[in-house]
Amino acid sequence: MQIDSTERDELLVKVREAYSSASDNPGDSHPFPLGFDFALSLGYSEELLRSVPQSSVARFTGVSNVSVFAKIPEGSIVLDFGCGGGTDSLIAAAKTGPSGRVYGIDFSTSMLSRACAGASESGVTNVEFREAEGQHIPFADATFDIALVNGIFNLNPDRSGLFQELARVIRPGGVLYGAEIVLREPMDDEEGEGL
């Protein structure tokens, strides 16, 4: 599906508003699942989720347990692309240890504020959060050993642009761990309403 830049921008505004609303009011009804029980259903262990500030876990909106299955050696420099409330970033920060670093980026200021609060609450010092759109990752070429992507591509129609940026910032030999939801059959208009 091709859309023009105006339609793309309008779509991204709606996505940002939806995720900011989930961050501001995680207990409300949203067009996507979120929170502790949802993360449990995706395979995060209760013990692991309890090791992360609940203010971050309450805003978890990923589609898989990417940070759990990712092999993150100590000392790695990690990008959490679309970090949301910071759950995967904080898990990755524990794995990479004090000699490593995790950078979470997201385009929702509200989600980033929750991620920063979670890092502060947990005392984690090897994680940093920045506001950025996926088509403009604010880092130099070949910065990262590992990138985590947990359900971002379905939210942005410029998927090739996202992949190009990820390829630019991941070092040669680096690894991308990703999970995504995929539509296998077309939806009728009624099913797609509100998406």
> Residue 157: its pLDDT value, please?
74
Q: Which of 82, 21, 83, 28 is nearest to 56 (CA)?
A: 83
Residue 34 · residue 60 · CB < 8 Å: yes
Element (H, E) at 120: helix 109-122
Residue 96 confidence (pLDDT) above 80:
yes
The alpha carbon of residue 14 and the mean position of all alpha carbons in its chain are separated, in whole angstroms, by 17
Element (H, E) at 121: helix 109-122
108-113 mean pLDDT: 93
What distance, in Å, lies between the first and last C-alpha atoms of the chain? 15
pLDDT in tens, 115-166: 999 999 999 999 999 999 888 999 999 999 999 999 877 777 778 889 999 9
Residue 163 identity: F
Of the two residues 69 and 87, the one the predictor is more confident about is 87
> Residue 63: its pLDDT value, please?
87
> Residue 192: its pLDDT value, please?
56
Residue 189 confidence (pLDDT) above 80:
no
What is the three-class DSSP state of 31?
coil
Element (H, E) at 43: none
> Residue 126: its pLDDT value, please?
98
What range does the domain containing 155 cover? 5-192
Share of the chain above pLDDT 90, in %: 61
The enclosing domain of 103 has a CATH number of 3.40.50.150
Is the whole model's pTM more than 0.85, yes or no? yes
pLDDT in tens, 69-84: 899 999 999 999 999 9
Neighbours of 99 (CB within 10 A): 9
Number of structural domains the chain divides into: 1
